[in-house]
């Protein structure tokens, strides 16, 4: 019987994305790239360590491989995407996610278990949509942004590039969140957020020099 699974190289060790890959009938984990072999400290003795960036570039096998990114930092996800842009960068999605027919997803994005993406939503390059997060209709998630578990983006929201939305945070309808911003866990955004802002609370307020204003 022919194995038709897609061989995935994971850049950056990530237990939850490894679980997504290994639990899927569509993917097979070829191995992971990281600055050192960290798998054994997590009891993952059967995962193939492929070396760091430099050794991988020197010893890359002549094999059909698809790349995914495991880092939980928007800027690092962007840096790795650019570093490996000559490779075949895929879209990795759980079988339990729901993606509406008219939603669009760009390469490099990982969509975890029980994520919901509704009609006309757009997900940019290199994003990470974590477990139970939701993107509602006509919302636009910028490149390399991250939705932590349970984050909810309501309808017609615009999220800029490299935004981190914390666990359980809610972005209300029609809001814009500027590039490089961080929304704290459990926060509720009810108005537009300027670029490179850190916001916490209900409603979310800007953090300036460790003081909430």
Name the residues annotated as catalytic.
137
Cα radius of gyration rounded to whole Å, the chain: 18
Residue written as tokens 């991988």?
A: 56
Spatial neighbors of 110 by CB under 8 A, at least 6 apart, are 17, 20, 68, 69, 70, 91, 92, 93, 127, 128, 129
Instruction: Output phi, psi for 114, to 5 deg.
Output: 65, 25
Nearest 5°: the CA angle 15, 40, 61 is: 80
- Give how far Cα 172 sits from Cα of 28, 158, 202, Å: 38, 11, 12
Exposure b/e, 152-190, CB count within 10 A at least 16 = b: bbbbbbbbbbbbbbbbbbbbbeebbbbbbbbbbebbbbe
- Token pair in block for residue 136: 């509602």
Contact between 110 and 128 under an 8 Å Cβ cutoff? The reply is yes
Q: Which two tokens stand for residue 164?
A: 């981190």
Q: Could you say which DSSP state residue 100 is in?
A: -
């Amino acid at each position: 019987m022919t194995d038709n699974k897609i061989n995935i190289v994971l850049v950056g060790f990530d237990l939850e994305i490894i679980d997504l890959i290994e639990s899927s009938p569509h993917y097979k984990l070829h191995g992971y790239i990281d600055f050192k072999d960290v798998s054994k400290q997590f009891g993952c003795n059967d995962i193939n360590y492929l070396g760091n960036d430099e050794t991988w570039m020197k010893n890359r096998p002549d094999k059909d491989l698809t790349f995914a990114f495991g880092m939980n930092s928007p800027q690092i996800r962007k840096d790795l995407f650019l570093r490996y842009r000559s490779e075949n960068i895929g879209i990795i999605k759980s079988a339990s996610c729901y993606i509406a027919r008219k939603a669009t997803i760009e390469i490099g994005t990982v969509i975890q278990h029980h994520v919901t993406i509704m009609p006309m939503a757009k997900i940019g390059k290199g994003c990470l949509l974590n477990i139970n997060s939701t993107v509602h209709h006509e919302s636009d998630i910028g490149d390399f942004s991250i939705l932590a578990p349970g984050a909810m983006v309501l309808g017609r929201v615009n999220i800029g590039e490299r935004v981190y939305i914390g666990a359980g945070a809610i972005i209300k309808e029609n809001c814009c969140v500027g590039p490089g911003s961080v929304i704290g866990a459990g926060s509720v955004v009810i108005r537009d957020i300027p670029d490179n802002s850190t916001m916490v609370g209900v409603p979310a307020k800007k953090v300036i020099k460790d003081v909430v204003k």
